[in-house]
Structure 1
Amino acid sequence: MTDQDWRVYTGTGAPRGAPIDNLPKPPPWRRFPGSGHVEARPVSDGGETSRRIGDAANRWHLSTDHEVAMVNAAIYLRRPLLVTGRPGTGKSSLAYLIASELGLGPVLRWPIGSRTLLKDGLYSYDAIGRVQAASARPHDEPDIGEFIHLGPLGTALLPYELPRVLLVDELDKGDIDLPNDLLNAFEEGEFRLDELVRISKQQPEVTVMTDDWGSTATIRGGRVQCRSFPIVIITSNGEREFPPALLRRCLQLHLEPPSEKQLGAMVAAQFGPTEGVDVARLIGEFMQRSEEHGGLAADQLLNAVHLAVELVTAGVHQPSDPEWKSLLSAIWHPLQSRSV
């Protein structure tokens, strides 16, 4: 067997033209019998993927061989992939590359903050809105499904035939209990909606809104269970350690700062040809500045390239050295504060 034979994901991010149809079978202990009706996943994400990882025709060398291997291992084992690394190393972009190449629809993104709870990712129930609607329509009781909205995690666990890609972004910023709270959802691939469980005998099926704009899903018995476990990318900037129980259920991938080749690929994906701009020189200066200041983010390079392209377009082909160096100093500012 060659290296390419087993790889479902190749790392190019280039769409295949149709959703993948040859996913490997999951391990017996990661097979889920989810049932129920869910609308077909949206095809378009409104340009979000292109905004994050650039034009599909120019996505090349964005992932290393090790990154590709780890993504494939996570797909085979149906396990979340915990991606660590400095800010700006492309952790979040990995989810968009996977979804784009495998044709799995828009990425379901769950940004984590200090007050984020597990339920925020699963679903929300607008009880006050339902009471107000009932008061406004006393002879026409509103359907409870109109007031339930699945979150990114809840939508990812719907019984799709093909997995969705879920990005749990910056989990290390969340409450200390959140990683442990995620364990059951990741291990069992299911969750309950208590408000629907209570009325399941009177109303066994309820149609609710999903995290995909304008889409709905039908929930049976107040329970959601996946059929194909989602491809879960969890990112962390390393601000704190995670409990062993979560680490045991994840594969771990540490991303090193992008190489010169990868930076060139990022610029090509975002800008295509850049006539009049010496991109190679900019990348070299960026890498030197990054080494001097303890690491810069790749988007700081993209900001500099964009400004250089705009200056060329405006007819300022070569700004004066002091002016340009001043601009670069402002754009390439250190990400870490230094003690005086």
Structure 2
Amino acid sequence: MTPANTASTGQDGDWRIYRGDSEPHSGLDRLPPPPPWRRFGQSGSIAGRRLGGSERAISYRANEDVVDKVNTALQLRRPLLVTGKPGTGKSTLAYNIAYELRLEPVLYWPITSRTVLGEGLYHYDAIGRVHENSLRESIPLTEAVGTTDIGRYIRLGPLGTALLARDRPRVLLIDELDKSDIDLPNDLLNVFEEGYFSIPELERLPDEQSAVSVMTVDGTGRVPVERGQVHCTAFPIVIITSNGEREFPPAFLRRCVRLVIEPPSEEQLADIVKAHLGEAAAVASADLIRAFLERSSQRDLATDQLLNAIYLATSGTRPPEAKLRDLVDAIMRPLDGAGAE
């Protein structure tokens, strides 16, 4: 069931780094490199590092239904609502679209139960601006310079950045909308319909400050906003993912193109493993892939569970066979019902 043991262990043959005997040692030096999706401190966004990000985008292969639904959403300038179980490639689709169409990096908006529309549009740091004004007032009049630049305290969110006027659209990934508060889907309707939103803090400025350069969520520089109004010229490619944990209002659904993604096949899983861990790992883990498919046909499992199990079995240090089987069982524990954490 498990790949061949090609990994090294410690001098005493023990695969473990932490031993639990309270004896200090330098075993951490034997720790293998982290999985690609757990590498920190490198260039690139958090969204690009996560499973389903840029690496899988390159090897992603969409079936005919996915291709048809994406093109329908593109032509209609409508959001694509992608529903499926965890680990089926819903988020990957957004990165694949941006990669194939040579668009700028994906704008990523993760949704929680506390997310509100305003967070996606923009953030105004009023406290920071008040603090700077207070500092300016404490400086002698002869030393004071200029006025407070309000644009330094306004940062467009993922949705706000996606709606900026541009010739080519940005890809916006709204991830796991089904986790949101009940009002958020309806709150998105007007923005999607109008392709427009306003920033009241800028609308109230005098005429001589009609154009203000604000910051964007991707940190690519400041962009001008005229009279506090943001109008899109190319409607963004909006990918909304859902694990199917709740129903959405009919008014929201009729404004989306809907796509249901089925769990990946054995061939697709092998491609995913190859993209993340290399061809050797994909070949060596054929039994694990089949075991995963058998389990996932009966219970809910996510693809990242399979990748974690394969990495443990093929990385720098590897547990003994019996121990590895137990750990693989723990990693690939079902996400639903009995046995789920």
Mapping 1:198-213, distance limit 5 Å? 198-199=204-205, 201-213=207-219
- Equivalent pair of 1:45/1:106 in contact (CA under 8 Å): no
SS state of the match for residue 191, structure 1? strand
CA distance in 2, matches of 1:117, 1:45: 26
Once the two structures are superposed, what CA deviation does each residue of 1:109-142 show, in whole Å capped at 9, x if it has no partner? 1111111111110001111111110110134421
Greater relative CO (CA pairs within 8 A, separation 6+): 2
1:72 aligned to 2:71?
Answer: yes
Give the share of equivalent positions with the same residue, in percent. Answer: 54
CA distance in 1, matches of 2:177, 2:240: 7
- Equivalent pair of 1:205/1:218 in contact (CA under 8 Å): yes
1:132 aligned to 2:131?
Answer: yes
- In the alignment, which of 153, 160, 167 is matched to residue 154 of structure 1? 160
The residue aligned with 1:186 is: 192
- In the alignment, which of 244, 248, 252 is matched to residue 250 of structure 2? 244
The residue aligned with 1:171 is: 177
Once the two structures are superposed, what CA deviation does each residue of 1:138-194 show, in whole Å capped at 9, x if it has no partner? 344211111101000000000111000001111111111111110111011010001
CA distance in 2, matches of 1:59, 1:135: 50
Count how many residue pairs are aligned between Structure 1 and Structure 2.
291
The residue aligned with 1:93 is: 92
Q: CA RMSD in A?
A: 2.3
The residue aligned with 2:113 is: 114
CA distance in 1, matches of 2:237, 2:285: 35
One-letter code aligned to 2:66: E
One-letter code aligned to 1:273: E
CA distance in 1, matches of 2:240, 2:176: 7
One-letter code aligned to 2:99: S
One-letter code aligned to 2:202: L
SS state of the match for residue 212, structure 2? strand
The residue aligned with 1:28 is: none
Q: Tell me, which stretches of 5 or more residues in structure 2 are unaligned?
A: 1-42, 138-143
Q: Tell me, which stretches of 5 or more residues in structure 1 are unaligned?
A: 1-43
- Bigger CA radius of gyration: 2
One-letter code aligned to 1:109: Y
CA distance in 1, matches of 2:73, 2:205: 37
- Check 1:320–1:144 CA distance in 2 against 1; reply closer, same or farther (3 A cut): closer
CA distance in 1, matches of 2:149, 2:111: 30
CA distance in 1, matches of 2:73, 2:87: 22
CA distance in 2, matches of 1:46, 1:61: 19
Tell me the TM-score normalized by structure 2. Answer: 0.80
CA distance in 2, matches of 1:305, 1:279: 6
One-letter code aligned to 2:67: V
Once the two structures are superposed, what CA deviation does each residue of 1:48-77 show, in whole Å capped at 9, x if it has no partner? 546544776994453212111111111111
- Equivalent pair of 1:127/1:147 in contact (CA under 8 Å): yes
